[in-house]
Amino acid sequence: MKTFGKLIIVGSITGLLLSGCGKKTKTEEHSYLTIKGSDTMVHLASNWAEAFMNAHPGIDISVTGGGSGTGIAALLNGTSNICIASRKIKSKELSLAEEKRIYPKEIVTARDGIAIVVNPENTVETLSIEQIGKIYTGAYTNWKQVGGPNQQIIVLSRESSSGTFVFFQKRVMNKKDYTRKAMLMPSTAAIIQSVSQDKWAIGYVGLGYGTEAKDRIKIVLVKDGDTPAIEPSIKTVQSGEYGIARPLHFYTNGEPIGVVGQFVNYVLSNEGQKIVLETGYVPIN
């Protein structure tokens, strides 16, 4: 979690949130944005926020994680201007938004590949999407079943509030349930830490996080059907070669205007998309 800008006294801003959060206020006077949601996007959103604040000294931005579901809930409750989400908003969330007279606007801001990570001492170099799915549903429980040593697989997953949890279940596991032995981790950082410490653990993390932690973990090549095994990278995600990839979203309450609109426009600009690339994600243009 990162919080940027000046010290913000929460009590003083209650009811004064900006245009993307429901009630319209004088955004030029308050100049304060709250961004909440996907842990996958926290690092990227923090970099956007820092660069934007450097160019606009009168604006303070707070960025926090907690998962895509948490961010969407905050948007619907009027406690965040922008939700960052690594999944699309669900139909039941849209129904709740309609009840609350909130009108979520989806904005694709970047793309991300999901890296499958193991401990550097694990000899497994390549896995197919089918094998990964069987590991996470519990059909495979030993590394020898996928060409590795005779050791029990320790399965690490994000919690159910995570957009990555939902996307991974849909794309890799064909919507089947996670194995009951899966250890649900509170953050991507927790998965990386656990994989780096346990030789027989497996986890999934956003490409940017996996690349940044390459000195502590190993990224597995992924085989999708009859295609060659592919390493997740900016190039292979952008080309569509890497099979476990998804868009990263902003959600605002209606069309973003005021300071919210300024920030969104910055994120989508060439300068904002350059930060996407520098942070290890994939630009949309």
Q: What angle do CA 250, 29, 49 make, to 5 degrees?
A: 35
pLDDT band, very low/low/confident/very high, at 30 (cuts 50, 70, 90): low
User: Domain ranges in the chain?
Assistant: 2-111+247-279, 112-245
Report residue 22's pLDDT band, with 50, 70 and 90 as the boundaries: very low
Q: Thinking of the domain 112-245, which architecture would CATH place it in? A: 3-Layer(aba) Sandwich (3.40)
Instruction: Please list the alpha-helical segments (H only) found in 138-178.
Output: 163-171
Q: How far apart are CA 143 and CA 147, in angstroms?
A: 7
Whether the Cβ atoms of residue 219 and residue 122 lie closer than 8 Å to each other: no
CATH code at 2-111+247-279: 3.40.190.10
Average pLDDT, the chain: 89
Domains 2-111+247-279 and 112-245 share a fold: yes
User: Which pLDDT belongs to residue 100?
Assistant: 96
Mean pLDDT of 30-49: 92
What is the per-residue pLDDT for 3?
39
The yes-or-no verdict on residue 6 having pLDDT over 80 is no
Q: Is the pLDDT of residue 140 over 70?
A: yes
pLDDT tens, position by position, 65-122: 999 999 999 999 999 999 999 999 999 999 999 999 999 999 999 999 999 999 999 9
Per-residue pLDDT tens digits for 166-213? 999 999 999 999 999 999 999 999 999 999 999 999 999 999 889 999
Q: Kindly provide the b/e burial profile for residues 214-249, where b requires at least 16 CB atoms within 10 angstroms of the residue's own CB.
A: eeebbbbbbbeeeeeebebbbebbeeebbbbbbbbb
